[in-house]
Structure 1
């Protein structure tokens, strides 16, 4: 069976689909004949993406941390398309800076969106995935494997979603539901570009050892994630070298702590540059501006 035929005619839900990795995932899936439901906080952008996919598509405006809204979206998607075969829990936000000088409401929001929002998404769509014996891809990050300084909220949330997804895989496998974790390193999205607006964050990232110090193009990264969806993989690596980080992940926190101590001492006098960065990128700005009402548009 060709790869295209594996997904052709299926229905996929992508959260955080208005831009970046989510938008490109929707496009790559649509190219394979998938019908796509887009979920996010930017209705005009979602409408734009849905209108240019070249396949059957619809969009829902919802905050992934709103359980009632996501349960409603799950019901409506299933009613609209008749089934759900794939869910990609991609919605995420980030902030940066030292923990003791951060806006803790922003820190908390990162964890709520990335971790709690992912769990709410999985829970809402699990009945539909059970009915179709479908597949959930949970987007995590290199940050789950290699926790770095100045990124406590993001690293904690991504480590959390990785553990949640592994646990869920064991829990629902007997129902025929597959669960995978997608890992990305620094990929050229508005979130990463937002981080690079800080001189300190940009400089610290570029001083990381190769290949972690590079920013990677999104196209090949998303192609690898789509291959993971096609294969119902337990792990999908957006950059080729991330697979090699798994066998040595137990060593990484200690090594990062040694290097981090040196780097933090070097940049400590420049922390003022990082005060109040807020949520990074255009996606972060959309989250910060979200209204309370999450009605479908």
Structure 2
């Protein structure tokens, strides 16, 4: 059911819109009256999401790390809908395991998609957001607030996008563009389910302190993101307790360094030679898209 509200008639771009957070966010934004521009690597899935929406929508197949492709997308969205009111930099991939044994290609790709891809998205769309005095929402993570062993690429990339968004806020605020950062803990998506397929990663996560050891439902987290977009909030928290983590973040590196070392020692030889590629269906789609590009 489509309802009128603060987003009625607003044009919102969502990257990583083929599945998970991006797909459900598109549906909920559309239900609030927004026009959706969907961006991602999976054209069939994007087409299905677009067809499921309540109002105007279109999809663009693009790799968020490709400057030229994203510039074409930004121009295409402007030509088709006349403006852009909000952009959600949501596209992301993940890998896990000990850094020393990590696959260097997968490790690098996480940083490229999550950090460089967000910067490329911002570079492509900021000119049109300045025209509309719009809103740029960067999806970060609990991983931006606290370091975590076995997730070095993901933590590095999400810490990076958080810093990027804070820098951007100061730079473009006088142009009327608001910038927000969205934080999510472990949320029920293909990415998290993919990571849990590895027994060691699943067991390590189960040993995290409450409430960070839980997997949270997707719907309520996306509802919080929608509310943040409506308010053009500087900070959006997908789970209620993440706001409180901000006051603790100065203490967390020392705690994680001590406790994490003890926990990793418990797993001993199980971690030797452990190598995980990009996780989940989104990670698989990214690998297939890059393989197809190389084959051309």
Q: How does 1:34-183 map to 2 (within 5 A)?
A: 34-183=34-183
* TM superposition shift of 1:268: 2.4
Q: How does 1:248-267 map to 2 (within 5 A)?
A: 248-267=248-267
Give the structure 1 partner of residue 199 of structure 2: 199
Take 2:293 and 2:68, find their aligned partners in 1: how far apart are those partners? 13
Question: Is 1:289 paired with 2:288?
Answer: yes
Take 2:231 and 2:250, find their aligned partners in 1: how far apart are those partners? 27
TM-score normalised to structure 2 length: 0.96
Take 1:140 and 1:105, find their aligned partners in 2: how far apart are those partners? 22
Residue segments in structure 2 that go unaligned for 5+ positions in a row: none
Secondary structure of the corresponding residue to residue 14 of structure 2? strand
Give the structure 1 partner of residue 30 of structure 2: 30
Take 1:138 and 1:23, find their aligned partners in 2: how far apart are those partners? 16
Residue segments in structure 1 that go unaligned for 5+ positions in a row: none
What number of residue pairs does the alignment pair up?
A: 290
* TM superposition shift of 1:275: 2.8
Take 1:230 and 1:121, find their aligned partners in 2: how far apart are those partners? 20
Secondary structure of the corresponding residue to residue 181 of structure 2? strand
- Which of structure 1's runs of 4+ aligned residues deviate more than 2 A? none
* TM superposition shift of 1:4: 4.5
Take 2:223 and 2:203, find their aligned partners in 1: how far apart are those partners? 29
* TM superposition shift of 1:258: 1.2
Secondary structure of the corresponding residue to residue 246 of structure 1? helix
Secondary structure of the corresponding residue to residue 7 of structure 1? coil
Take 1:145 and 1:4, find their aligned partners in 2: how far apart are those partners? 35
Deviation by residue 1:82-107 (Cα, 9 ceiling, x = unmatched) = 00001000000000000100111110
Take 1:7 and 1:61, find their aligned partners in 2: how far apart are those partners? 24
**How large is the RMSD of aligned CA atoms in angstroms?**
1.1
Take 2:192 and 2:259, find their aligned partners in 1: how far apart are those partners? 22
* TM superposition shift of 1:65: 0.3
* TM superposition shift of 1:286: 0.3
* TM superposition shift of 1:183: 0.1
